[in-house]
Amino acid sequence: MVQVLKRKALALVGNHAVAYAVKQAKPQVLAVFPITPQTTMLEKLAEYIASGELKAELIKVESEHSAMAAIYGAALAGARVFTATSSHGLLYMTEMIYWAGGQRVPIVAAIATRAIASPWSILDEHQDFLSKRDAIWIQIMAENVQEAYDLTIQAFRISEDERVILPVMMGFDGFILTHTMEKVEVLEDYEVDSFLPPRKFNLIDFSDPVGIGPLAQPDDYMRVRYDAMKAMERSKSVIEEIMREYEKLSGRKYDLVECYKCEDAKYIFVTMGAWSGDAKVAVNMLRDEGIEAGLLKIIVFRPFPKEKVQEYLRSAKGVVVFDRDYSYGSGGILANEVKAALYGLQVPVYSVIAGLGGKDVKPIHFQKVMEDLVNEKLEEERWLL
């Protein structure tokens, strides 16, 4: 029996949907520095705090480096914490991103993805987000405003789970999601309270003083990093478990990946983020043409869901990975991940680089690429200029 719940629905832009989720998660300390396209989220959070709807300290820091440093400090002292940034802000706080990951502190950060200068661009790209892939952070990415809301709430729970204890970054596409208004079904506050138990993590205990982040001799350092690797691996099943629990609460299904008509598909797109919606439209257009297309959407990028990628793609005739990012001198970042996951499986993987600096990508672009693949006209790597 499926229980149909009548949900409160709001019309929210992405930034406000994430702010709403943050308000319900009740962090005690936030530190945020303005940057386009994240700024309206910061403004909304400041409003919530000023009105008393969110009882928290908002540290109005002088830089993103200090934003991450401040919530790192607050997280050590037992507070649930949150920050949000984008592009240059994310790069500027990178030192502290690594510090938080290395120390393994529960932190949630929302990243409005955006291209990186030079030259200047305030528009969408995944380069900023993916440049943090080795920082010992769990990275998840939303396709739409609803997912940005849902994943933010789940991020707090995943981050603080005692089997995980890792910071979590929730990426959502700058402007395409941050500034787009969608209908969002929100949970009631008491439901979020039941899903998110009070935080236990605290390292500042005056009755048991410890040194946090001291010098490590090589043996100790290696061991600490090994433990982080294990925690990251372990988090896969914990994330799945938490997502199942969230599904019971919300009625919305989440997993490490989403398979859209990919079970029986011969030709499969792999995407992350907002344009997954365009890819779904393209899948349907291709199916109308008689091409058995499907989509594998990566929701959790770190830890990379290698097993799921193998499971869904192992018998594909062709896989096309769309990257809104690039590792210069190597290839599409997601494409490289997919190729590594499929190593030894003889699945042809094609890479498409598109949408850099906010360049518009539409379903027809996906459709055309797949038609070319079917007609054996697609290069191993294609840039949609």
Partner 1 sequence: MSLIAKPKRIPKFHRGNAACPGCPIPREIDILLEELGPKTVLVVPAGCTTVVMGDMSGMPATVPVVHSAFAAAPAIASGIVRALRMRGDYDAYVVVWAGDGATGDIGFASLSGAAERNEDIIYVCYDNEAYMNTGIQRSGLTPYGAWTTTTPEGKREFKKPLPFIMAEHKIPYVATASIAYPFDYQAKVRKAKQIRGFRYIHLLSPCPPGWRFDASLTIEVAKLAVETGVWPLFEIENGEFRLTGISKNLLDKKNRKPVIEYLKLQGRFSKLTEEQIKEIQDAIDRMWEEIAARVKK
- Beta carbon nearer to partner 1, 81 or 341: 81
Binding segment toward partner 1, per CB under 8 A, in 163-171, 203-211, 257-265, 278-286: 203-211
Least separation in angstroms between residue 161's CB and partner 1 is 20
d(CA 170, CA 231): 18
Binding segment toward partner 1, per CB under 8 A, in 62-70, 176-184, 255-263, 268-276: 62-70
Q: Does 61 bind partner 1 (CB under 8 A)?
A: yes
Q: Does 48 bind partner 1 (CB under 8 A)?
A: no
Q: Does 215 bind partner 1 (CB under 8 A)?
A: yes
Q: Does 109 bind partner 1 (CB under 8 A)?
A: no
Which residue is it, tokens 């990508």? 361
- What tokens were used for 193? 């309270």
**What are the backbone dihedrals phi and psi of residue 62, each rounded to the nearest 5 degrees, phi first?**
-95, 0
List the one residue from 67, 116, 153, 184 that touches partner 1 (CB under 8 A): 67
DSSP sequence for 57-115: EEE--SSHHHHHHHHHHHHHTT--EEEEE-HHHHHHTHHHHHHHHHHT---EEEEEE--
List the one residue from 16, 26, 65, 324 that touches partner 1 (CB under 8 A): 65
Task: Provide the angle, in degrees to the nearest 10, between the axes of the packed helices 363-374 and 276-288.
Answer: 50
Count residues near partner 1 (CB under 8 A). 42
Which residue is it, tokens 């379903």? 363
List the one residue from 63, 194, 237, 315 that touches partner 1 (CB under 8 A): 63
* DSSP secondary structure code for residue 353 in this structure: E
Least separation in angstroms between residue 111's CB and partner 1 is 19
- Beta carbon nearer to partner 1, 194 or 202: 202
Cβ burial, residue 160 (10 Å; 0-12/13-18/19+) = buried
Least separation in angstroms between residue 101's CB and partner 1 is 13
Binding segment toward partner 1, per CB under 8 A, in 77-85, 150-158, 299-307, 362-370: 77-85
- What tokens were used for 10? 């709001």
Binding segment toward partner 1, per CB under 8 A, in 131-139, 209-217, 252-260, 319-327: 209-217
Q: Does 76 bind partner 1 (CB under 8 A)?
A: yes
Q: Does 34 bind partner 1 (CB under 8 A)?
A: no
Q: Does 69 bind partner 1 (CB under 8 A)?
A: yes
Binding segment toward partner 1, per CB under 8 A, in 206-214, 254-262, 326-334, 345-353: 206-214
Question: Are β-strands 349-353 and 29-31 bridged in parallel, bridged antiparallel, or unpaired?
Answer: unpaired
d(CA 143, CA 130): 16
Q: Does 66 bind partner 1 (CB under 8 A)?
A: yes
Q: Does 214 bind partner 1 (CB under 8 A)?
A: yes
CB 65 within 8 A of CB 202: no
Torsion angle of alpha carbons 239, 240, 241, 243, nearest 10°?
Answer: 80
d(CA 338, CA 74): 37
Q: Does 211 bind partner 1 (CB under 8 A)?
A: yes
List the one residue from 96, 138, 177, 296 that touches partner 1 (CB under 8 A): 96
d(CA 148, CA 151): 5
* DSSP secondary structure code for residue 331 in this structure: B
Binding segment toward partner 1, per CB under 8 A, in 188-196, 215-223, 279-287, 373-381: 215-223
DSSP sequence for 240-280: HHHHHHHHHHHS----SEEEES-SS-SEEEEE-STTHHHHH
Q: Does 141 bind partner 1 (CB under 8 A)?
A: no
**Closest Cα to residue 322, out of 330, 314, 331, 313?**
331
Q: Does 198 bind partner 1 (CB under 8 A)?
A: no
Least separation in angstroms between residue 81's CB and partner 1 is 8
CB 305 within 8 A of CB 239: no
CB 35 within 8 A of CB 91: no
Least separation in angstroms between residue 75's CB and partner 1 is 7
List the one residue from 45, 59, 108, 239 that touches partner 1 (CB under 8 A): 59
Contact residues: partner 1, CB under 8 A? 28-29, 31, 56-57, 59-63, 65-67, 69-79, 81, 95-96, 99, 203-206, 209-217, 220
